[in-house]
Structure 1
Amino acid sequence: MSITTKDATAGTARRAPDGRGLRERLGGPAVFCAVAVLALVAAPLLLEPFRLNLLAKYLVYAIVALGIGLAWGQGGMLTLGQGVFFGLGGYSMGMHLKLTEAQGGLPDFMVWSGVEELPALWVPFADPVFALATAVLAPVALAALLGTLIFRQRVRGAYFAILTQALAAAFAILLVGRQGLTGGTNGLTNFFELFGHDLASDSTQRGLYLVVAVVLGLLYLGARHLVNSRFGRLLVAVRDGEDRVRFLGYDPATVKTVTFAISAGMAGLAGALFVPVVGIISPALLGVVPSLELVVAVAVGGRYALAGAVLGAVVMGYAQTAFSERFADGWLYLQGALFILVMTLAPRGIAGLLSRRGRA
C-alpha cells in the first residue's frame, strides 16, 4: 500500500483552518501585483530618500520574517536565534566593504586595536563573489548542521526555541570579545562604497531599495511555491502531527532540517543587504532581543500566512520608527501595547483578522 503526503496531512487540516485560505486571500496574483507596483514604482516616486531608506530597512527585516514564517508558521519550529544567521550574512558583507575601503591595508578598527597583519579569516572576503556566497551558504551550512544534530534527537517545541536563543546569545558574546577581528561592541561601520558606487548618494540608496524589494518579492514567490508544493504539505503535516508522519514512513527530521536551512539562508541574505542599506552591523543588531522582536513581528502579522509575516515586519518596523520619533521615552511600551492589542483582538495576527473580515 503506497503512502502519500495526502495521507500524512489527512486529519490535520482541521487544526489550522486559516492556513490555505489565508494564503489564497493574502498571496493571490492580483494582490501580489498590486503590492509589487506600489513597492517598485510608487514608493521611490513618493518617498523622500530618508523615508525610502527606512522602508528598505523594513523590507530587509521582512526577508528574515519570511524565513521565520516558513519555519515557525508552516513547520512549527519556533526559532529565536535568527540573529545568528542574519549576523553571518551581515558580517560577510561588512568584511568585504571594509576591505574595499582599506584598499589593501588594514580596516580602521584593526589599526585602532593594534592589529599589525590582516587576519587570514578576512583575506578571502576581498572577493565580492566569495563574500556574497558566504553570506548565504554559511548560514545554510550552520543551520543544516544544527538541524541534523537537534532534530535527529527529536528536540522540538520549547527546547528547540531555547537552544536557538542560547545560540544567539553566545554568538553576540563571541563577537563582542574579539575586538581586533570583529570590531567588538561597535561592530563594522563607516562604509562608503559598494561595488564602485557611493553609498551616500540618493541614486545608490534608491537602487539598493529596488534590489531589496525585488529580492523580497522573488523569495516570497519561491516560499509560496514551496508551501503549496508536495513538500509544503508534508511540512504542515509535520507541524500538526510529527509522530504520525514518522509512523507513515517519512523522516520529519529531514523535512525540518531542510526548512530550517532555507530560513537561515534567507536571514543571511537579509543581513548582507542590511549592511549597505543601514551602514552598520554590530552584535546589538543580532543578539537575543532583535531575534525576539522579529518573532513578535511575525506573530503580529500572522504566522500562518507568509504574507502576514512580511506585513508584520513592515508594520512593527514602521511602528518602532513612528513611536520613537514622537515618544522618545516610552516608545517601547507603545510597541508592546501594539503587540498585546493585536494578539488580544486577533490571535492569528493581522492576516487572520483580514481573512475573517473577508469571509464576513
Structure 2
Amino acid sequence: MTAVLEKPTQQLTPKEPRQWKGPAVFVAVAIIALVVMPLVLEPFRLGLLAKYLCYAIVALGIGLAWGQGGMLTLGQGVFFGLGGYAMGMYLKLNDAGGDLPDFMVWSGVEDLPALWAPFGNPVFALAMVVVVPLVVAVLLGTLVFRQRVRGAYFAILTQALAAAMVILLIGQQGLTGGTNGLTNFFDFFGNDVAAESTQRGLYLTVAIVLGVLYLAAWQLVRSRFGRLLLAVRDGEDRVRFLGYNPATVKTITFAISAVMAGIAGALFVPVVGIISPALLGVVPSLELVVAVAVGGRFALAGAVLGAVVMGYAKTYFSEELPDAWLYLQGALFILVMTLAPKGIVGVATALRARVRKEASA
C-alpha cells in the first residue's frame, strides 16, 4: 500500500521543474532585456542591441516558416523593406511639415506622388506596416503553394523576389530615394529621434514587441495548427491524403512570418535612422537565414538567439577584422550545417541530455 501511494509522488516530482522551466527562462530573459541592459549599456551599444532585436523579429518569422514549416525563405528582406519604407515614408512626410521630402526636391520632383499622400496619416502608415507585407505574402503564397512549389524552387523564387525588389527601389529615385533610400529622420511621433530618451524608449519598445511576438509564435506552434504545420513539413503528401490542404497551412504561416518582418522593418527605421535597398536585398536575407541556422532553426528561441549572436559577431568582427567577416560567416554556416544541424540550441540540448544520462547512471 505504501509503495502504491509513493509512486504518483515520484512521477510528479521531476515534472514540476520542466513545467516551470520554460516560463522561468522567458521571465529571466525579459528582466535582463528590459531592466539590466538599459542600465549597463551605454546609449550607442543599447542602440546596437535594439538593431539586433529587430533582426531577431525577422529571424523569429524565418524560424516559424523554415524550422517549423519547412519553407526556406531567402527573401524576407522584401517584407522587412515594405514595413520599413511604410514607416520611413510617414517619418519623411512628418519632418517635411507639408512640403516635399528633401530627396524629392533634389531629384526634381515638383508634386507629392499620389502613392505618398496617404502615408502622412500615422494610423494609415502603421496599418500599412502590417497590411502590405500580409497582402503580398498571401498573394505570393497562394500562387506558389497551390502549384506545389517547394524546396529549393521556393527558396530560389523568394531570392529572386528580393533581387527584383532592390532593382525596383533603386530605379525609382524620385519615389523611393534610389540607392540612398530614406534617411535623415528627426521627429518620431513628437520625440527627437536622436535624443537618448527616445532611443531608450525605442529599445524597450522593440524588446517588448519581440517578447509578445515570441509568445504568440510559441503558442501557435503548440496549438493544433502548429502540429499540422509540423506534419506538413515532415510529410506534405501524407497530410494532403488525410484531407487537409497544405497550401493553406503554408500560406498562413508564410504570411505570419512576412508580417513579423514588416513590423521589424518599421521598428528598424527609427532605431537605425535609415532604410535603403542595401538593407533588404539578397545578402541581408541570406545573413538572416544563416543566423537562424546557427541559433537552431527547429526552436523559436534558437532563431532569436542566432540573430542576436550573429548581429553582435558581425559588429565585433567588422570592427576588428573587417576584411575577414564574410569568410568567417560562411565558414561558420558550413560548420554548423555539417556538424551541428540543430544549431546552438541543439548542441545545448544534446549536452544537457548527456549530463542527465551520466548523472542517472
TM-score w.r.t. length of structure 2: 0.92
Tell me how far 1:327 sits from its aligned partner: 1.1
SS at match of 2:323: coil
Q: Is the 8 A contact 1:72 1:78 kept in 2?
A: yes
Amino acid at match of 2:98: G
Tell me how far 1:315 sits from its aligned partner: 0.5
Task: Report the equivalent of 2:216.
Answer: 222
Task: Report the equivalent of 1:263.
Answer: 257
- C-alpha RMSD of matched pairs (Å): 1.3
Q: Does the alignment pair 1:60 with 2:19?
A: no
| C-alpha distance in structure 2 between counterparts of 1:278 and 1:25, whole Å | 39
Q: Return the match for 1:87 from 81, 88, 98.
A: 81
Task: Report the equivalent of 1:4.
Answer: none
Task: Report the equivalent of 2:101.
Answer: 107
Summarize the alignment of residues 1-360 of structure 1 with structure 2, pairs less than 5 Å apart: 28-360=22-354
| C-alpha distance in structure 1 between counterparts of 2:208 and 2:141, whole Å | 29
Amino acid at match of 2:100: L
| C-alpha distance in structure 2 between counterparts of 1:208 and 1:340, whole Å | 35
Which deviations, in whole Å up to 9, do the C-alpha atoms of 1:18-59 show, x marking residues without a partner?
A: xxxxxx899810111110000000000000000000000000
SS at match of 2:243: coil
Task: Report the equivalent of 1:5.
Answer: none
Which deviations, in whole Å up to 9, do the C-alpha atoms of 1:296-325 show, x marking residues without a partner?
A: 100000000000000000010000000011
Tell me how far 1:347 sits from its aligned partner: 1.6
| C-alpha distance in structure 1 between counterparts of 2:19 and 2:346, whole Å | 10
Q: Is the 8 A contact 1:85 1:267 kept in 2?
A: yes
Q: Is the 8 A contact 1:66 1:220 kept in 2?
A: yes
SS at match of 1:120: coil
Amino acid at match of 1:104: G
Amino acid at match of 2:268: F
Q: Is the 8 A contact 2:293 2:336 kept in 1?
A: no
| C-alpha distance in structure 2 between counterparts of 1:255 and 1:328, whole Å | 42
Amino acid at match of 1:128: P
Q: Is the 8 A contact 2:292 2:304 kept in 1?
A: yes
| C-alpha distance in structure 1 between counterparts of 2:20 and 2:304, whole Å | 11
Task: Report the equivalent of 2:13.
Answer: none
Q: Is the 8 A contact 1:26 1:307 kept in 2?
A: no
| C-alpha distance in structure 2 between counterparts of 1:293 and 1:27, whole Å | 31
| C-alpha distance in structure 2 between counterparts of 1:181 and 1:27, whole Å | 50
| C-alpha distance in structure 1 between counterparts of 2:87 and 2:267, whole Å | 8
Tell me how far 1:332 sits from its aligned partner: 1.9
Amino acid at match of 2:271: V
Q: Is the 8 A contact 1:154 1:253 kept in 2?
A: yes
Query: How many residues get paired?
Result: 337
| C-alpha distance in structure 2 between counterparts of 1:109 and 1:303, whole Å | 40
| C-alpha distance in structure 2 between counterparts of 1:137 and 1:48, whole Å | 35
SS at match of 2:235: helix
Which deviations, in whole Å up to 9, do the C-alpha atoms of 1:72-101 show, x marking residues without a partner?
A: 000000001101100000000000000011
| C-alpha distance in structure 1 between counterparts of 2:20 and 2:80, whole Å | 26
Shift in alpha-carbon separation, 1:26–1:124, aligned structure 2, 3 A: farther
Tell me how far 1:104 sits from its aligned partner: 0.2
Shift in alpha-carbon separation, 1:249–1:199, aligned structure 2, 3 A: same
Which deviations, in whole Å up to 9, do the C-alpha atoms of 1:123-152 show, x marking residues without a partner?
A: 000011111110111001100011111111
| C-alpha distance in structure 2 between counterparts of 1:203 and 1:342, whole Å | 39
| C-alpha distance in structure 1 between counterparts of 2:162 and 2:102, whole Å | 27
Amino acid at match of 2:50: A
Structure 1 unaligned residues grouped into runs of 5+: 1-23
Larger Rg belongs to: 2
